Homo-oligomer: A and B are copies of this chain.
Amino acid sequence: MSESKLLDVLIAQAKLSKKQTEKQQKIVEAAIHIFAEKGYANTSTSEIAKVAGVAEGTIFRHYGTKDNLLLSIILPFFKETFPMMAEEVFTEIASNVDSFEEFLKAFLKNRIHFFLENKQIAKVVVKELIYNEELKKDLLPYLSENFLVRVNKAVEFFKERGEFIDIPTDRIGRMLLTFIGGFLVSRLVLLHDYTVTDEDIDDAVSLVINGIGRREDGTE
């Protein structure tokens, strides 16, 4: 993973991903499970091959290098993490809800369900994003830019409605990023076999919005 040309890889992926052999699926499946459990660096290609029920050479025929196998797992997931964050979708959600609290709940429910549906891959992505300096350098900026830009828009939208206390937009954005990031990291790579219900999300968002301190006026 020396010289990162992620764009090239993404393009190459797109071209190659036309048809996927049955064996390829098994390889990716096996790799995801073992990477998720033991981490990329501690997983040998021979183990992947054994679990996938293919010859070791088959892995390299399709993915060239072990690094590339990791990328072909991570990148598609990465791309899918953000489509719903496309600006128009964001705006639409924002328009259909009454408050930032509702917006955040709707947004998080959607994305967390996506993560739960791909729990294993998500685990791999988060772990490697933390561990792999190269990958981090390439993907994090992309991630935080996408996330912050959009969330900040939403914050501004509701700020105009007077929903927020007087703190800078980007501080709110960063705080949300930290909290959501912490939430995902703790659930995905620190705790095992987590599930998050919609009620959990509702509660967490309420706390973030309203704080855990008692209101002076007695309301919650």
A contact set with B: CB distance below 8 Å: 37-39, 41-42, 100-101, 127, 129-133, 136, 140, 162-167, 171-172, 175, 177-183, 185-186, 189-190, 203-204, 207-217, 219-220
Q: Which residues of B contact A163 (CB under 8 A)?
A: 213-214
A215 B165 Cβ-Cβ under 8 A: yes
B171 A203 Cβ-Cβ under 8 A: yes
The CA of A183 and the CA of B183, in the complex, are separated in Å by 10
B189 A175 Cβ-Cβ under 8 A: no
Known: A130-B190, A185-B130. A214 touches B37 (CB 8 A): no
B131 A131 Cβ-Cβ under 8 A: yes
* Least distance between A96 CB and chain B CB atoms (Å): 19
Which single member of B165, B185, B203, B213 contacts A101 (CB below 8 Å)?
B213
Ranked nearest first, the 5 interchain pairs of A and B with the lowest CB-CB distance are: A182-B182, A211-B211, A41-B41, A209-B213, A210-B211
Which single member of B41, B190, B212 contacts A39 (CB below 8 Å)?
B41
13 contacts between A and B (CB under 8 A): A39-B131, A41-B41, A130-B189, A163-B213, A164-B214, A165-B214, A167-B207, A182-B182, A207-B211, A208-B211, A216-B217, A216-B219, A217-B219
The CA of A167 and the CA of B14, in the complex, are separated in Å by 48
B182 A178 Cβ-Cβ under 8 A: yes
The CA of A186 and the CA of B184, in the complex, are separated in Å by 11
* Least distance between A145 CB and chain B CB atoms (Å): 14
A140 B171 Cβ-Cβ under 8 A: no
Q: Which residues of B contact A101 (CB under 8 A)?
A: 213
Which single member of B38, B140, B167 contacts A133 (CB below 8 Å)?
B38
Q: Which residues of B contact A140 (CB under 8 A)?
A: 190
Which residue of the partner chain B has the closest CB to A143?
A: B190
A162 B130 Cβ-Cβ under 8 A: no
Which single member of B42, B129, B208, B212 contacts A212 (CB below 8 Å)?
B208
B214 A217 Cβ-Cβ under 8 A: no
